[in-house]
Structure 1
Amino acid sequence: MYAVFKRELFSFLNSLMAYITIGIFLLACALLLWYFPDTSLLDYGYAELNGFFSLVPFLFMFLIPAITMRSFAEERREGTYVLLATRPLSDLQIILAKYLACIVLLLFALIPTLVYYYSIYQLGLPKGNVDSGAVIGSYLGLFLLGNAFTAIGIFTSSITKNQVIAFAIAVFLCFFAFNGFDSLSKLFELNYLETVLINLGINEHYQSISRGVLDTRDLIYFISFVLVFLGLTKFVIGGRKW
């Protein structure tokens, strides 16, 4: 399993696509946070990163599918998955190895954004006047959100040989999982059904963690979400093998 994980990680890092994808993500974050007047912290005048944590989920909808789209689609297109499947590894081990490699790449993209927290910390009046607890909770929320989107991306990559199609389906599913249930809830006037739909969406649980409150229900939701999509991936791969 470790060999597949290392192979997947280094194959991506050895390609120019990794640096272009992560570079575009970091550039978009910097422009939205410091340059564009509608979202600039310098124009906002308060030392907080709420705007940043509100924008990053939408950037994740494109960054993470770009990372995951090649996981299984490229293997199937080039015929190398047959060689991988003949190794003494279960389908679940192969899926987890590819999933963890994508999570590491996600961390590579997130770690440089910590410089924004340091900048806000220095710009605060007085110095250090920033809610560190909320920032830590928001980063944890981003990491869990990234895990959920990665599971979606791995699944969509397993159902097609075309990386572009895998990317497009993953973007749609990520957007629907994050924002779609909130939109559907507005169609119903019954409070109970509206609450159920909102709780099914990722956004509600992401916002809860971003407030700095670590609720076990939110953790269980994200873990269950990841397990469901990894389970679907195993079902697709197992069915194709049969």
Structure 2
Amino acid sequence: MRVKVWDLPLRLFHWLLVLCVIGAVASIKLGGEWLVWHERLGLSIIGLLSFRLAWGVVGSTHSRFVSFFPTPRRFMDYLRGGWHGLGHNPLGALSVFALIGLFGFQAVSGLFANDDIAFSGPLRNLVSSSLSNDISSLHRRTEDFLYILVGLHVLAIIVYRLRGKKLVGPMLHGYKHAAPEQSEPVRGGGWIALLVALMIAGAMVWLASGVWIEIPPPAPAAPAW
């Protein structure tokens, strides 16, 4: 039987994050005038991840972190073939948390980074030049880990597909096939929860944008004489 697993907000988050990450990588490679889009996409990623963290608490059943957190017991059950959940399996859960953590680090570190030429993150002025340079170095070096983790994620999708398990389809339409005893009503994730999550995401984007930082007035020009 078909059962609803992934709610619409979670599915939209997933695909918007994919698009924003691809755009952020492409814009940094293009450089030049595209760097302004790199910053905008970075802020969008912060908003999306903030939404996901909130939705992991107030969202519907299978979107909540507590429903799929990879505890040792769940992981051992999965390795022994005794795990039969509908949401993320323990291995997939590890991938979810790793991706959220890495994307989050990249997005937040980019707020304080600079390229020594023309680009400075929106919160660059809140830290010293040396600290900004250190953060910029970490931001660039961590990019390789992002490629590795995303590559492993895509490889896992392909392997599961070859084994007859579809992961992409359910993330598009939200439904999975399950035995009757596995089905359970999906709870939570209503309009109030959605509004709360969106407000948190909006507040985090506002903070990350740095528009609240007062720019000091320019120093008075020295007299010509």
What is the TM-score of this pair, normalised by structure 1?
0.31
Larger Rg: 2
Question: What TM-score, normalized to structure 2?
Answer: 0.33
**Which fold has the larger relative contact order, with Cα–Cα distance below 8 Å and residues 6 or more apart in sequence?**
2
Question: Could you say which structure has the higher helix fraction?
Answer: 1
